[in-house]
């Protein structure tokens, strides 16, 4: 179901000991897929997409936000929500013994995040929306209690302020270390989306590499519009498990595969994402705006800080 | 033989002794008669002791016992009439899920259940209780029907998980599961889910978003089967027993964590020792829960269901928040 092994882009410094005066950090990066050596500056200019094979590298949540929303419009919420260790889970193998609580500390120090998702609100072309952006670096973007809580809060924010919700998925699935708590986040987030749906507020789901397991089988597949970046692994069961079960090597179960089978609406190149989102916001927002103004007339006279705050 | 699991070996030996004594019937000598009585008492005592302290991994074995009653056994023992309905109306019929209206006590209910198979042929027919997307879509279709006619929904959960095949990906296993979570969270009739054996992963959750989540005493409910978790966490299925312990998957542990509502007791030695008694317990519990749920107006029912799932999860607030890098 979930896959934990992260495959960070292999970066190699052309000059191990950078000379003073030269920019520090890596100058080239190797494409995870086609192994092409890419110049970092060009690769970044190309939004971390391989210029040769079009491989879309994984982005951090903040890189993703910068890419998608109006400059300086993002306001992060609930940054201090963290995972805890509800089961006192200890990983015991013959090689090592590691408490989940320690792993959490380690991970959050390593990647500088409290959780595998960043939430908040922002605007795209001046239209407000609520956001939840997953970050694969934090325990493979796996969904624990805190992840589910933050995603649910992002959905509830959309509901409360009547603005569209966008969730960008990047996840190996459920977080084993939180056992059934983790599984139940699927129900929690889906239930929140059902309420959002009843309120007739649009939900956009963007699938990025990888979107698998419990995340795919809950909010990721519930979008009114579901988009995916090219070549992203999108599945319920990972290819490794399918192979074990079926004894045949499966074809790539990716964005193009699920598009072909009618499971998503469009595959969108990273450079077109912001514009695509802007169009969708334009197309779907009038209904909300109309509804909002109607409600505003109904509520006139009451002090309604929530709605005027948008 | 009734005691045939690896950890039950001491019980099996005692049982063997009892059976050989019982065979003698009238020819039992007075001291043998006493021996028999003692052995029977001893068996009872040791079974009670063992079953009170089952480890998670032992519970997994009881939950998977080859003779454990399956959904259709309970339906036969609990319901007056059950009319099985078939198909998702768009692709196929999935026998890993059996569903249809039934009479339970004085009430008409909709049953939606995972079904495993006992012999090779049945196992194949029911696909080991591992549903395809069309199984979940059949479940969804019938739950909407239940809403239409006001039948409460009762789900019996017994699956290692949704089927992990390529064709399942093609037909949208994820979407089929997600759609049920969405549907069930707002379905305007009472829903009760009971884990009767294995509650495995999204494949179980897809018919378990309920007002009451109950578990038979020796059943398990887990985010992923211990073997799968072990291979995800440590790339080695051999660690399944460790995974089972660490993830707290037994009914007793989940009740202690408040993740389920109630435990339904099983006969000594597990449900397979007495189908009738287990089914009676299950039926009595279901009827009392239905009475409870019928008291609630629909709006309250739905809000309580929402809050039930909304509050599941344990998280903390960081003492010193990390500064945003954006």
- Check B174 against A236: CB less than 8 A apart: yes
User: Would you state the structure tokens that stand for residue B310, as one six-digit string?
Assistant: 């909304």
**Chain mean pLDDT for chain B:** 94
- Check B247 against A87: CB less than 8 A apart: yes
How far apart CA B279 and CA B72 sit, in angstroms, is 11
> What are the chain A neighbours of B316 within 8 Å (beta carbons)?
81-84, 146
The single-letter DSSP state of residue A227 is: E
- Check B165 against A62: CB less than 8 A apart: no
Give the B window 92-151 contacts with A, CB below 8 Å.
none
**pLDDT value at residue A91:** 87
User: Would you state the structure tokens that stand for residue B315, as one six-digit string?
Assistant: 């998280």
> What are the chain B neighbours of A183 within 8 Å (beta carbons)?
201-202, 205, 222-223
**pLDDT value at residue B194:** 98
> What are the chain A neighbours of B313 within 8 Å (beta carbons)?
145-146, 148-149, 181, 184-185, 188
Best mutation target, A237, A250, A260, to test chain B (most B CBs within 10 A): A237
How far apart CA B178 and CA A167 sit, in angstroms, is 15
**Chain A CA closest to residue B170:** A261
Chain centre distance of CA B146: 22
Give the B window 37-96 contacts with A, CB below 8 Å.
none
- Check A262 against B172: CB less than 8 A apart: yes
- Check B181 against A190: CB less than 8 A apart: yes
**pLDDT value at residue B232:** 86
User: Would you state the structure tokens that stand for residue A173, as one six-digit string?
Assistant: 């699935």
**pLDDT value at residue B241:** 94
Compute the half-sphere exposure of residue B279: CA atoms within 13 Å on the CB side of its CA. Answer: 18
> What are the chain B neighbours of A187 within 8 Å (beta carbons)?
181, 185, 205, 208-209, 309, 312
**Chain B CA closest to residue A92:** B242
The single-letter DSSP state of residue A254 is: B
**Chain A CA closest to residue B258:** A181
**pLDDT value at residue B144:** 98
**pLDDT value at residue B112:** 98
Please give the model's pTM, rounded to 2 decimal places: 0.91
Nearest-CA distance from B237 to chain A in Å? 12
Nearest to B326 among A65, A181, A219 (CB): A65
Chain centre distance of CA A156: 17
- Check B312 against A184: CB less than 8 A apart: yes
**pLDDT value at residue B92:** 97
> What are the chain B neighbours of A84 within 8 Å (beta carbons)?
314-316
> What are the chain B neighbours of A180 within 8 Å (beta carbons)?
221-223, 247-249, 254, 257, 259
- Check A216 against B174: CB less than 8 A apart: yes
φ and ψ at residue A111, rounded to 5 degrees: -105, -5
Q: In residues, how long is chain A?
A: 310
Nearest-CA distance from B242 to chain A in Å? 7
- Check A74 against B170: CB less than 8 A apart: no
The number of beta carbons lying within 10 Å of the beta carbon of residue A184 is: 25
**pLDDT value at residue A133:** 98
Interface A:B, Cβ pairs < 8 A? 230
Mind giving me the DSSP string for B144-176? Answer: HHHHHHT--EEEEEEES-S---HHHHHTTHHHH
Crossing angle of helices B30-52 and B9-24, rounded to 10°: 150
**pLDDT value at residue A295:** 56
CA distances, A52 to each of A228, A255, B1 (Å): 20, 19, 66
What is the longest distance spanned by two Cα atoms in chain A?
A: 68
> What are the chain B neighbours of A92 within 8 Å (beta carbons)?
242, 246
**pLDDT value at residue B27:** 85
How far apart CA B201 and CA B226 sit, in angstroms, is 11
The answer to whether A217 and A237 are in contact (CB under 8 A) is no
Q: Is B209 on the interface with A (CB under 8 A)?
A: yes
- Check A176 against B229: CB less than 8 A apart: yes
Q: What angle do CA A33, A260, B141 make, to 5 degrees?
A: 125
**Chain B CA closest to residue A88:** B246
φ and ψ at residue A269, rounded to 5 degrees: -65, 145
pLDDT (tens, 9 = 90+) of chain A, 310 residues, equals 444 444 444 444 433 343 444 455 788 999 988 999 999 999 999 999 999 999 999 999 999 999 999 999 999 999 999 999 999 999 888 888 899 999 999 999 999 999 999 999 999 999 999 999 999 999 999 999 999 999 999 999 999 999 999 999 999 999 999 999 999 999 999 999 999 999 999 999 999 999 999 999 999 999 999 999 999 999 999 887 787 777 778 788 999 999 999 999 999 999 999 999 999 999 997 666 655 555 545 544 444 444 443 3
Nearest-CA distance from B47 to chain A in Å? 28
- Check B232 against A185: CB less than 8 A apart: no
**pLDDT value at residue A293:** 53
Nearest-CA distance from A4 to chain B in Å? 7
- The 3-state secondary structure of A136-202 reads CCCHHHCECHHHHHHHHHHHHHHHHHCCCEEEEEEECCECHHHHHHHHHHHHHHHHHHHHHHHCCCC
Nearest to B172 among A185, A191, A261 (CB): A261
- Check B174 against A222: CB less than 8 A apart: no
Q: How many helices (H) and strands (E) does chain A have?
A: 10, 13
Is the Cα torsion angle A271, A277, A279, A280 positive or negative in sign?
Answer: positive
User: Would you state the structure tokens that stand for residue A106, as one six-digit string?
Assistant: 């380690």
Q: Over the stretch B82-101, which tens digit does the pLDDT of each residue have? A: 999 999 999 999 999 999 99
Nearest-CA distance from A80 to chain B in Å? 5
- Check B164 against A176: CB less than 8 A apart: no
User: Would you state the structure tokens that stand for residue B309, as one six-digit string?
Assistant: 């799932």
Nearest-CA distance from A179 to chain B in Å? 5
Give the B window 255-314 contacts with A, CB below 8 Å.
257, 259, 305-306, 309-310, 312-314
- Check B202 against A82: CB less than 8 A apart: no
pLDDT (tens, 9 = 90+) of chain B, 326 residues, equals 589 999 999 999 999 999 999 898 888 888 888 999 999 999 999 999 999 999 999 999 999 999 999 999 999 999 999 999 999 999 999 999 999 999 999 999 999 999 999 999 999 999 999 999 999 999 999 999 999 999 999 999 999 999 999 999 999 999 999 999 999 999 999 999 999 999 999 999 999 999 999 999 999 999 999 999 998 888 888 999 999 999 999 999 999 999 999 999 999 999 999 999 999 999 999 999 999 999 999 999 999 999 999 999 999 998 654 444 33
> What are the chain B neighbours of A112 within 8 Å (beta carbons)?
322, 325
């Amino acid at each position: 179901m979930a896959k934990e092994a992260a495959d960070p882009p292999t970066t190699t410094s052309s000059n191990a000991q950078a000379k003073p005066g030269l920019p520090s950090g890596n100058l080239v990066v190797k494409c995870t897929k086609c192994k092409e050596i890419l110049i970092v500056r060009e690769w970044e200019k190309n939004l971390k997409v391989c210029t040769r094979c079009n491989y879309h590298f994984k982005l951090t949540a903040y890189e993703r936000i910068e890419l998608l929303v109006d400059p300086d419009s993002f306001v992060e919420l609930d940054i201090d929500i963290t995972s805890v260790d509800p089961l006192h889970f200890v990983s015991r193998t013959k090689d090592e013994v590691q408490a989940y609580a320690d792993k959490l500390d380690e991970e959050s120090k390593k990647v500088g995040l409290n959780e595998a998702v960043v939430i908040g609100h922002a605007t795209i072309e001046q239209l407000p929306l609520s956001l939840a952006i997953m970050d694969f670096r934090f325990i493979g973007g796996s969904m624990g209690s805190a992840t589910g809580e933050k995603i649910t809060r992002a959905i509830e924010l959309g509901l409360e302020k009547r603005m569209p919700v966008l969730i960008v998925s990047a996840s190996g699935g459920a977080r084993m270390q939180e056992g059934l708590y983790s599984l139940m986040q699927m129900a929690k987030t889906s239930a929140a989306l059902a309420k959002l749906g009843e309120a007739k507020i649009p939900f956009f789901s963007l699938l990025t590499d990888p979107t698998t397991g419990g995340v795919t089988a809950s909010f990721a597949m519930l979008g009114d519009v579901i988009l995916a970046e090219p070549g992203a692994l999108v599945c319920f069961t990972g290819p490794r498990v399918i192979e074990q079960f079926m004894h045949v090597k499966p074809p790539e179960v990716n964005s193009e595969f699920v598009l072909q089978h009618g499971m998503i609406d469009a595959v969108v190149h990273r450079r077109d994402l912001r514009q695509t989102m802007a169009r969708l916001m334009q197309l779907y927002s009038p209904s909300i705006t109309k509804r909002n103004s109607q409600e505003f007339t109904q509520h006139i006279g009451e002090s309604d800080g929530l709605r005027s705050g948008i | 033989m009734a005691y045939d699991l690896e950890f039950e070996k001491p019980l099996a030996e005692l049982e063997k002794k009892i059976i050989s004594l019982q065979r003698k019937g009238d020819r039992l000598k007075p001291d043998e008669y006493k021996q028999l009585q003692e052995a029977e008492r001893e068996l009872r005592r040791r079974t009670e002791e063992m079953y009170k302290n089952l480890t998670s991994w032992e519970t997994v074995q009881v939950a998977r016992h080859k003779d454990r009653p399956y959904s259709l056994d309970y339906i036969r023992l609990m319901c007056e009439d059950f009319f099985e309905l078939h198909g998702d109306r768009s692709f196929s019929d999935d026998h890993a899920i059996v569903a249809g209206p039934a009479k339970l006590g004085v009430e008409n209910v909709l049953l939606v259940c995972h079904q495993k198979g006992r012999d090779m042929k049945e196992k194949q027919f029911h696909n080991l209780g591992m549903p395809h997307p069309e199984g979940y879509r059949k479940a969804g279709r019938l739950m909407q029907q239940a809403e239409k006619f006001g039948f409460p929904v009762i789900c019996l959960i017994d699956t290692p998980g949704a089927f992990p095949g390529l064709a399942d990906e093609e037909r949208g296993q994820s979407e089929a599961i997600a759609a049920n979570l969405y549907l069930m969270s707002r379905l305007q009739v009472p829903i009760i889910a009971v884990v009767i054996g294995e509650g495995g992963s999204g494949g179980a959750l897809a018919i378990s978003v309920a007002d009451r989540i109950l578990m038979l005493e020796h059943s398990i409910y887990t985010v992923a089967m211990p073997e799968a978790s072990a291979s995800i966490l440590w790339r080695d299925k051999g660690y399944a027993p460790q995974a089972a312990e660490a993830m707290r998957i037994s009914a007793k542990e989940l009740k202690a964590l408040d993740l389920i509502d109630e435990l339904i007791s099983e006969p000594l030695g597990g449900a397979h020792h007495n189908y009738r008694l287990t089914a009676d317990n299950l039926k009595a519990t279901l009827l009392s829960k239905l009475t409870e749920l019928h008291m609630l107006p629909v709006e309250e029912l739905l809000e309580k269901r929402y809050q039930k799932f909304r509050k599941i999860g344990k998280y903390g607030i960081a003492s010193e928040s990390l500064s945003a890098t954006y």
